[in-house]
Structure 1
Amino acid sequence: MQNFVQAGGTITATAPSGGATSGDGVLIDHLFGVAAITAAEGAEVELVTEGVFDIAKEAGAAFAAGAPAYWDASAKVTTPTSTGNMRIGTAIADAATTDATARVKLLGHAI
């Protein structure tokens, strides 16, 4: 197919202000993914937009399996708090308040 660009599980984007670090979540407007590589601000970065990832979470927050996961763009962590944050996926395992990460199935976009 002549107009096919890519499958979409990985998206090439421009790294946002501050750049992107491999393994960290990146939100660009309504596009959320996990950086596959480290890239400086303004450089191309591959964002994985599908799959299940252990993502840094808000300190002291707990997740129950099946709960919505949101992205706190200022703290650059996932949170169970919807107010002021973009939904990025669903927790697929419980995460205790003492855990550093939450296991999240990505939506493929942020809403």
Structure 2
Amino acid sequence: MRNYVQHGNIVDLTAPVDGVLSGEGFLTGDLFGVAATDASVGQKVSTYLEGVFDLPKATGAGLIEGQKAFWDATAKKVTASNTGNTLIGHAVETAAAAAVSVAVRLAR
């Protein structure tokens, strides 16, 4: 097939305005991914769009296994709140309100 570009689980995206470190989540428009390497602002970075990743979580509210997970782009943390945040996937484990991270299966 001549128009096939790539599988799509890892794509090259432009690093956000403050750059990105390997393992950090970030948004490009409404597309959420996890950086495979460090990248400075404007550089292309290999970005995982699929998989399960341990991501920083906002404290104060927990998530239960299977619950929708949203990305707070300002705080750069996963939250259960959809208000002003972007859906990025689902929690694959329960995380208490005081937990600082949660495992999330990225949604497409």
**Short-chain TM bin:** over 0.9
Instruction: State the TM-score, normalized to the length of structure 2.
Output: 0.95
Paired amino acid for 2:83: T
Match of 2:63 in 1: 63
Instruction: State the TM-score, normalized to the length of structure 1.
Output: 0.93
**Structure 1 residues without counterparts, runs of 5 or longer:** none
Q: CA deviation at 1:103?
A: 0.8
Match of 1:93 in 2: 93
Alignment of 1:5-24 (within 5 A): 5-24=5-24
CA RMSD between the two structures? 0.9
Q: Deviations over 1:36-67 (max 9, x none)?
A: 00000000111100011111010222110011
Paired amino acid for 1:73: A
Kindly report structure 1 stretches of 4+ aligned residues shifted beyond 3 Å. none
Match of 1:31 in 2: 31
Q: Percent identity?
A: 44
Aligned length: 108
Q: Distance in 1 between matches of 2:14 and 2:28?
A: 9
